[in-house]
Structure 1
C-alpha cells in the first residue's frame, strides 16, 4: 500500500512538473515570437539587405550554442532573446523582398496563418492524445542531415525544383520537431523550458519560411 501510494505521488509530481515546464515554454515562446516580430519590423524599416548566408549561420549557430551553454541559468533567458531577436532581424529583409511582389502581403499572411494553424493543430494532437512521439528522434536527425545537404546543393547549383522539394521537406521536418518536442515536455523527457522554447521556435521559424517559399515558388509572380 505504501509503495503504491508513493508511486502515485511520484507520478503526480512528474505531471505537475511537466505542466509547469509546458506553461513556461509557451509563455516564453509567445514572448520570443513577439520580440522577433519587433526586430523583423525594425530591419524592414531600416531597409536592411539580406544577410550573407555564412554570416547568418555563424550568428545563428553561435547564439544557439550560447543558449544551450546558459540554459540552466538566468543568462539563458538573455541568450534566448538574443537568438530570437537575431532570427527575427534576418527575417526582415526576406519579408521586404516578398512585399515587392503584387501579391506579397497576401503570401505573407497566408504563410503566417498556415504556420499558426499547423502549430496549434500539432500541439493539440500531442497534448490531447498524450502519445509518445519519441520515435521521431531518428527521423529528425536523419532529416536534418539530408535537408541541409540538399539545401546547399540547391543554393550552389540554383536548382529550383530541388529548392521546392527542400521547402516541402522542411515543412515535414518542422512538423515532426513540434510533435517530438511537445511530447518530450509532456512525458518529462525535456525539463528545461528554455531548451524546449528554442526547439519549438526554430521549428516555427522553419515552418513559416518553408511555407512562404512554397507559396512564393508556386505564385505567378
Structure 2
C-alpha cells in the first residue's frame, strides 16, 4: 500500500503549479494596480494643477460627495469592462480638481511648504506600509471591522463639523482619517496578496482614495501644528 503521507513527484509538480499560478496572478494584479494607481495620481495632479491655474472655486462638500460617490458607484458597476477605466480617471480627475482650490489657499497664505511636507509624509507612509505588507505577507483582513466602524464614526463627525464650527473636532477628524487611511492601505494591500481582491481597477481606486484622505488629513494636521488659520 502506498504511503499517502508523502506526495509523489506528480503531486508535487501539480501543487507547485497551483502555487506558481496563484503567485503569477497576484503579481499581475499588483503590477496592474500600481501602474493604474501611478497613472491616476499623475492625472489627478494635472487636474489639480489646472484647477489652481484657473483659480476655480471649491465645489463644496455636498457636490464633492455627490460627485465622488456617483463616480465610485459607476466604477464599481463597470469594473470588469474598459468603461471602468474611463470612470476611474473621471473619479480621480474630479478629486484632483477639488484639491486645487485647497492647495491654492495654502499657497496664497504662504504655507506652500506644508503642502510639500504633507506630500512627502504621504509618500513615506504609503511606501512603508505597502513594503511591510508585501514583505511580511501578513493578513490584515481583521481590520475590516475597524475600518467599517471607523467610517461610520468619521462620517458622523464630518456631519457635526459641517453643522457646527468646532476647531477641536476638525483636528480630531483629521487625526482619525490619518489612522483610517493607514489601516485601509494595510487592508487593501493585504487583500491583493492574500486573494481577497482580484480586480485591479477597484484595488487602485481603493488605494487612491486612501492616499487622498491621508494627504488631506496630514495637511490639516500640519496646518494646526504650525498655527496657521
**TM-score, normalised with respect to structure 2:** 0.94
Q: Write the deviation string for residues 166-218 of structure 1: whole angstroms up to 9, x where unpaired.
A: 00000000000000100111111100000000000000000000000111122
Query: Is residue 48 of structure 1 aligned with residue 27 of structure 2?
Result: no
SS of alignment partner, residue 188 of structure 1: coil
CA–CA separation in structure 2 for the residues paired with 1:61 and 1:3: 48
1:196 is aligned to 203
1:208 is aligned to 215
Written as runs of structure 1 = structure 2, the 5 A alignment for 1:135-150 is 135-150=142-157
Q: 2:69 aligns with which of 43, 53, 61?
A: 61
Q: 1:14 aligns with which of 13, 22, 28?
A: 22
SS of alignment partner, residue 135 of structure 2: helix
Q: 2:38 aligns with which of 30, 47, 53?
A: 30
CA–CA separation in structure 1 for the residues paired with 2:227 and 2:196: 45
Unaligned runs of 5+ in 1: none
> What is the deviation of 1:125?
0.5
Written as runs of structure 1 = structure 2, the 5 A alignment for 1:1-221 is 1=8, 2-102=10-110, 104-221=111-228
Which segments of structure 1 move beyond 3 Å, counting only runs of 4 or more? 2-5
CA–CA separation in structure 2 for the residues paired with 1:220 and 1:81: 36
CA–CA separation in structure 2 for the residues paired with 1:51 and 1:218: 27
Question: May I ask how many residue pairs the two structures share in their alignment?
Answer: 220
SS of alignment partner, residue 121 of structure 2: helix
CA–CA separation in structure 1 for the residues paired with 2:16 and 2:46: 45
SS of alignment partner, residue 58 of structure 2: coil
**TM-score, normalised with respect to structure 1:** 0.97
Unaligned runs of 5+ in 2: 1-7
